Structure 1
Amino acid sequence: MSVSAQTHVPEQNGEPLGNASMAHLKAALLSVPGTPNRTGTPGSDHKIANHIGYSDTVFAGKAEQAKEVVATLKHKGFIPPDLVEAEVNWFY
């Protein structure tokens, strides 16, 4: 005696839901910023501002704070003492 079971697959817009989700995922992963999307309009994600790049943060007491950080790091011993000043200077 054989019993056949039918499996119901949820659908969306006439397509099996799993396929629709996979198609949406592929479209999102394979999209190129600045190219038209499914609606024909350029995407607005991942905009990069048009500026020169890094700008240094300047504040009163910065040099004194850097000296305190050097002293603290040398005391804690987390970074080898001969590297502390170079690392702090790079960070500041």
Structure 2
Amino acid sequence: MKNEIDIHRALRVFNKVATLGEKQSDNIQSVYRLCGLNALTDFDGYTISLSDAQVRLDIFFHKKYKFDYPNNEALENFLARFTDVEKYSQN
């Protein structure tokens, strides 16, 4: 699988997780969790991250991004969570 994603979709998923997700904070930063995805941002907001137990996607300024994952199956499962978040509605 080639490491290409729709960056706009990833940003919409990040926004939904950060908006509707459960806030989990440590002393340094806030992490939001929804549908198995974690969303966090660096101190200045220029880098955001989406992650699950095995995969991390860092999105940088100017729509650059980097994946970190152990295998293609983990990446596919991670990307499937995007659909779960997109379908999530707060009732």
Which structure would you say has the larger Rg? 1
Structure with bigger strand share is 2
- With structure 1 as the length reference, what TM-score do the two structures score? 0.28
Higher relative contact order (CA 8 A, sep 6+): 2
- With structure 2 as the length reference, what TM-score do the two structures score? 0.28
